[in-house]
Amino acid sequence: MMIRSTTNGVLKSYRYNLQRSSYTLNKAMNTVLTGRNFDTYAADPATAARCFQMRRSFQRVNSQYSVSESVTRKYEQAWSALGSVVDDVNNQKTSSAYQDILHSINDPTASGRNSLGQSLTELAKGIVQTMNGRHGDNFIFAGADGLKVPFTWGEDGTLCYRGIPVDAAVPDIAMSNGAPLTLNDQGQYDPAGTNYLLSGGVKTISVDDYEAAVKAGNAPTVLRDTTGAGQLVDADGNISTTERYYLVLDNSKTISKADYEQAEKDLASLDYLSKSEVKYADLGLGLQEDGKTGEVIGSSVFNVALQGINFLGYGVDADGDPKNIVSIISRMGQILLNCDATTGAFAEGERDEFQRLADKFEASAALLQDKHIELDTQADFLKSNQTQLENMAHTLEQQFLGIEDVDPAEAISQLSWAKYCYNTALKVGNSILSQSLMDYINA
């Protein structure tokens, strides 16, 4: 059975095939020009969704890399600045604060103590300037508040960190029945008084011993009430109406309630800055929040807040001496400046203080060197983490480019084949059109 192909049927089939060839050619040409497997999400939804996830991860890693690069440079500058301070106080160098201190102690002629004192004072100022260095627009050692200068000198020469005296300390005060012992401005016991009695140097004396001392003409100064009578206390110094003891105040000192509360506030602020203030950065450590509190989990981020007081120290020790190495150097410099300009002799009571501070300076310098090594370890970690982020970004880029981008050789081959098919379709069209024209003439 033979089927006759009509002219309209042949032309219709020809047009359809020609259009497909043209579409295939245009698509192949567009693929070669763009180098992409698809141009729209609708073209390949599944592959496009995968690429979107990869690109989002790539952008996040790129952002983490940029942050990591900035943090790494900050830590490198911090390490360099702290290294300069370590060199200035290093006990192995001939030109260092430690050698100046040794010379001040061991110089048999005591010559040059004033000049050495000036040298130590200038060194303290130089360390502060170094620790006030910047990274970009932010101060390196200012903690989370990088726009505020970390170390400043008060009008009285007190070193401050972000406006708080670094040698802040809460003094021990005399207690009575679990509450602070309060005095009025005249130094008398007064429950409504606005002054506290410092506990250092305070002791008790029995009434009998006090009366005997009065008769002997060497009676100590004792605590009195607002009437001027001796205030009775027990053997532990608690206010009492039955016990027969007095508080001896010969070597006692007082502090106003306002100053005491300010000291508490200053020390609490320094403790917070040193131990609790943070500034987190996402460096690709798996940023995550606590599901219950909504707070960032500390182990999933990196704390970039460098607190200057954590390197130089703050507060005072059990002897009341400063822990801050700059304060120690500054005080030792002042003691040397107080020495007699001619003989070099120490002022009364200051030689022992100088020797005590010299020992504490050596301990603080060793601690500073440990902190410098710790900072170097953190800088190495940041460099390693940055390299890991760089490798991760490269891997992600290769993955989504491998899906999105075409193989150039394969794309060109497909273009050549599509062009060949299109040209073939045109040649077939020439034959069909010629035959149809003859059919028209013959009719």
Model pLDDT for residues 320-331, shown as the tens digit of each residue: 999 999 999 999
Cβ atoms within 10 A of the Cβ of 361, count?
22
Mean pLDDT over 121-133 rounds to: 93
In this predicted structure, the answer to whether residue 172 has a pLDDT above a threshold of 60 is yes
Handedness of CA 293, 299, 304, 307 (dihedral sign): positive
Q: Which of 88, 96, 75, 55 lies closest to 402 in space, CA to CA?
A: 55
Q: In the prediction, which pLDDT does 134 show?
A: 93
Residue 420: CB partners within 8 Å, gap ≥ 6?
A: none
What is the percent of the chain with per-residue pLDDT over 70, rounded to a whole number?
86
Residue with tokens 């500034």: 279
Q: In the prediction, which pLDDT does 179 show?
A: 92
Contact call for residues 25 and 423 (beta carbons, < 8 A) = no
Structure tokens at 389: 């982020």
SS3 content of the chain, % helix, strand, coil (to 5): 55, 10, 35
pLDDT in tens, 354-410: 889 988 998 999 899 999 999 999 999 999 999 998 898 888 877 776 666 676 777
Mean pLDDT over 128-153 rounds to: 94
| pTM attached to this predicted model | 0.78
Contact call for residues 281 and 389 (beta carbons, < 8 A) = no
Contact call for residues 68 and 386 (beta carbons, < 8 A) = yes
CA 17/CA 74 separation, integer angstroms: 66
In this predicted structure, the answer to whether residue 161 has a pLDDT above a threshold of 80 is yes
Half-sphere exposure of 248 (CA within 13 A, CB side): 17
Residue 164: pLDDT band by 50, 70, 90 thresholds?
A: very high
Q: Which of 368, 365, 272, 263 lies closest to 316 in space, CA to CA?
A: 263
Helix (H) or strand (E) holding 416: helix 408-442
Q: In the prediction, which pLDDT does 379 show?
A: 92
pLDDT in tens, 262-315: 999 999 999 999 999 999 998 988 888 877 887 888 788 999 999 999 999 999
Structure tokens at 319: 């002897």
> Which three-class secondary structure state does DSSP give residue 80?
helix
